[in-house]
Amino acid sequence: MTKTSALSFFLAIAGYSANAFAPSYPTSPISSRTFSSTRLEAKKKIFIDGEAGTTGLQVRDRLAKREDLEILSISEELRKDVEERKRLINEADCVILCLPDEASKEAAAMVENDRTVVIDASTAFRVDDDWTYGFPELSKSQKDEIQSSKRISNPGCYPTGFIALLRPLVDAGIVPVDAPLTVNAISGYSGGGNALIGIYEDEEVENEPWGAYGYSMNHKHLPEMSKYTGLNTKPIFQPKVATFAQGMVVSVPIHYSLLKEGSTGKGVHDALSQYYDGSKFVKVMPLGESGAKEAGLLERGAFLRPDTLANTNNLELFVFHNDEEGRMVLSARLDNLGKGASGAAVQNLNLSLGLDEASGL
């Protein structure tokens, strides 16, 4: 496998547009002199605290070319300077925290005004009731809640796929709240941050082709996976990484005996389709293996590739079912660094600042 770097560090910052004033002169001796001017909206100021990390680099990449935003940058030698960070945090209209949990808590506490929007990409605030969960498609009201919030917790990558699949089915009563579920998921190695990227992209370092983890049965994603699906029972979560940079497939196998009596693959598919009808980024794909094959969604007619949506904010949901056997597998495909991280952060930024939801995406 040829290894290519999945990440680029873009330092281009969108330039200013100058104000243009166009005076209007009188057309007759008796008319009073009037002036008209074109008012340009002030650019929203954005500070990415932790912009040198995996998610921070991707967020900056997505924002750098936008003309409606001004990126506030901190010099490399001042990245750990508390006073300089605090100054930039309070100058910004929106701060995106791309930091470890404890560092995010410290940074959030630096806000000294009621104006700055904080979007946190760590797990620090994901189940905190004082913060708004940043999955706009979670419910009909979630987008409005994000638009009016000053504190937004960005979802985790694996939970994004799991919650997208299960929340509609729990709400519809198809999946009971006490259903014992299993989540099998695989992600590109970029999900492990710079350290794991360094291992997989170093030609001189031997690495495993595939690795499973989370054997403590107490993964940090489990609280949000339960809370935002409405499930009372935490699922068994089996995450894995492999030798591709970006992308993810999250799968939930289900026996029909766990579902509402009379449930079918089409019924589950219809429930998901209705829930996400009109969504810009979440799409329910054609039903079953046959539907996926006909739509050309399976590699060589058989394989669901995890990297197909790399560098997008899209999320695809699949229902693979066998009604006669009474079994199905629900699968979500997304970019772990897109809809699972930086793309979601940009989407939340847009909503919270009253901008077009899809700008930069």
**Taking 90 as the threshold, does the pLDDT of residue 42 lie above it?**
no
Looking at the structure, tell me whether residues 172 and 269 fall in a common domain.
yes
In a domain, 165, yes or no: yes
**Which residues participate in catalysis according to the annotation?**
157
What's residue 268's pLDDT?
98
**Taking 90 as the threshold, does the pLDDT of residue 15 lie above it?**
no
Q: What is the pTM of this model?
A: 0.87
Q: What is the pLDDT of residues 245-270, one digit of tens each?
A: 999 999 999 999 999 999 999 999 99
Looking at the structure, tell me whether residues 282 and 319 fall in a common domain.
yes
In the chain, which ranges are continuous DSSP H helix?
Answer: 54-63, 82-91, 101-108, 142-147, 157-171, 193-200, 222-227, 265-275, 288-294, 343-352
Looking at the structure, tell me whether residues 99 and 170 fall in a common domain.
no
In a domain, 262, yes or no: yes
Q: What is the pLDDT of residues 130-161, one digit of tens each?
A: 999 999 999 999 999 999 999 999 999 999 99
Looking at the structure, tell me whether residues 148 and 172 fall in a common domain.
no
Question: In the chain, how many domains are there?
Answer: 2
In one letter, which amino acid is 125?
F
Q: Which residue has the higher pLDDT, 331 or 41?
A: 331
Looking at the structure, tell me whether residues 191 and 106 fall in a common domain.
no
**Taking 60 as the threshold, does the pLDDT of residue 220 lie above it?**
yes
Q: Which residue range(s) make up the domain with 85?
A: 40-154+341-352
Name the nearest CA neighbour of 51 among 95, 117, 92.
Answer: 95
Does residue 33 contact residue 26 with C-beta atoms inside 8 Å? yes
Across the range 107-113, mean pLDDT stands at 97
